[in-house]
Structure 1
Amino acid sequence: MAIRQNRKRHLADDPPQEHRPSKKLRVKGRAQSSSNFAPEFWDNLSKVWLTPRALRELDRRNDARPAPKPPTPAVYTTDLAQFARRGGPDLRHLRGYPEPRDDRLKMSSSRASDSSRRTKSTKATTISSKAIRSSAYDDDFEQHLTDRNIYLPLRNNQAPKPNLDDTRLLLSASRPSLSPSRFDDSRFEDFLQKNETKSEGTVMRNVIPIITGNASIPNEGNLPFTNFKSLTEGLTVNAVPDFFDGAPPGDVDRSVREDLSQMIVPTKHADVPVAPNFFLEAKAPRGGADVARRQACYDGAYGARAMHSLQSYGEEEPVYDSNAYTYTTTYHAGTGTLQLYAHHITPPTAPGGRPEYHMTKLRGFDMTDSRETFVQGATAFRNARDVAQRHRDKFIQAANARARQSDVEAQHEAEITVAAVK
């Protein structure tokens, strides 16, 4: 794979990088703290799932509430027997009393808790500390996407399905680079050894390049899509694909690039590929496959919108043909599973509504089962990149032609106006 020297990820034939920067959560172009999403995110969810982030938001809102003013307790006679017959002391002023805000009281409470935990095993404490870690791409994130007509597979069974028979046929076309003479058992064993890793960065450096092979398709990765118009009103993180393909910015007519900037230009970096429509999300063995799928759904929606913007550029009405022109893949090193998905866009179901973005599974492969299954998966992956590039180039060329035709017509009208004045 051809790699640009400035920011491109090094692949199989390149020297390994020492470290790969971790993904950062970003909202509206700024770094998102590890705490939570904005309150508007939670206010607009049609259903709130019980996730660590939802509990943190509940704690935040409870802490922000003013302490209730305790009612004045009733005064009773000091006669003990009569006092007891009347029910004892009035404790209503203690109901709903918030936790103490004073730091010293909190510290005292914390020390008491620590003391009680000393009797528990160290192993249990370690598991508890890990349990509080959560991904931004949880059930509530998925619900947020669904509420905005961005659907994972099977989440919207009423949507028209794209015809993917021809695409699946193209994905299975053999590739000489994966023939037994060029990718033999020893190379498959090398893949298996490199797949025994514990970090996502190592997966991207050492494992994914074996799957991608060498190609001249412009690509980038691990860059937040800060220039795209948010599909979620900026209430969630920006998409940060581990890997994506796009077109060189110079291939897109300048007027098209400017008119569709927030639809096809993912970042403000001048040399990053534009109009991305092929994406990869990878996970280390301890990473969640469900998280990778949600990330791929999010990436694919941006890619589908980019292709639709180019396809509709210069047309009187938006073009909705229910065909898939964007593809995403996920790879989970723990299971050795490669999944391929197609994404397509359909018109709003109501006037003034949002378009709908749909994710459909194409194929799935156990890359670590045998050399044959690896070859099948890598073949589909590489062919999908080629198919995505053909779609991308076709739409860019058509948009460029319409832009130039519009320029010619504008120039002609200007000449007629000048002649009439004379």
Structure 2
Amino acid sequence: MRRAVFTLLGPRSSTKQLVKSVASLQSRTVSTKVKDEIKRWDVSIPVERASTPPSSWFLDPEIYQLERSAVFAKNWICVGRKDQVAQNGQYFSGMVAGEPYIVVRDGDTLRGFFNVCRHHAAQLTPLCGQGCTDKFVCPYHGWTYALNGRLTKAMRLKGIQDFKAKDFGLKPIQVGELGPLIFINLSEDTVDGVETVFQTPHVRLQEKGYLDLSWVKRVEYPMKCNWKVFVDNYLDGGYHVEYLHPALTSNLDISTYKTTVTDMYSIQEAKGNDQSDKRIGQSSLYIYMYPSVMINKYGPWMDTNMVIPTGANSCTVVYDYFLENEMINNMSDADLQLFITESLKASDQVQQEDNMICESVQTGLESSAYDVGRYAPGVEMADHAFHRTLAKQLQAHV
């Protein structure tokens, strides 16, 4: 099978500074002011009567820190793709909720570990690295770990007491696969698998053939807005499309927009119109999976959007583009490259428009003229559901 080949990139670190543990961000450190702000949003009020969360949720660094422990350390977070760890020993690393991680292929098993040596806490690989290895060797003092996390070598320990190598393996992280994507969950509790949590989106995407795609390219967009601003923009039920994306609107029948809402995911879908180009096709499926990944299937394309918080007022959105194998195999190299180039250019135009409006919203949130807004209940029900799930998790943590 012929496949388009591009350079693979590892996940970008979500922060430049490590924290010692999630425990340092527990509720006992949350100020009374932040507790009051979190509790201002009433989860029992329906979308027709609800106001949006206060602007402090998008601005306060303390709330951002709270989200790291209450949200990103407790849920399934998309961190990469299966093709990055398809072969034995392939790995990639990154950061979630201030915690460095490694995902590695160990034979038939996919494993996740905290990227922290058990000797003096150095990272075993660069925080945004990837590669292929038969073992992990700490660059600090040479402690060596097998792909299953077992400590296999610790030099110059003569005279050490009360030490057992089996007690000093790498700390494991729960890891799961969904279609072409890889998720991790930092929680120490037993949790439902990612395919269980997102079973319906998985089935819908299977119907759209997302298991028969090849990865094409990764593009990263640094944004000057809180991560939730980007999610809000995605979840407005197509409300903004005809105003912000004229080129995309010309390919969609906005009147067919339909939204299905649950606590952990939402599904938006729309049909193409008679003028739809080959990139968009005759139907589009937009799936959001709480808290931070979106999957968009349209025409022969699928793109995934991983939203990585990098601060209270900044984030990076990582786009991975996939193309149907049938198209890759049936087009000439020249036609395929032209189609990919034109498609990604059109996609980039949409992302630039979204980036512009999200950064505009962030500026408005910082104004003294704004505190809360309202929902358009006929289209923004998915956004309201996102805020409800977020509020429940934040409030449970304070």
**TM interval, short-chain normalised:** under 0.3
Question: How does the TM-score come out when normalised to structure 1?
Answer: 0.24
Larger Rg: 1
Question: How does the TM-score come out when normalised to structure 2?
Answer: 0.26
Q: Which has the higher contact order (CA 8 A, sep 6+)?
A: 2
**Higher strand proportion (structure 1 or 2):** 2
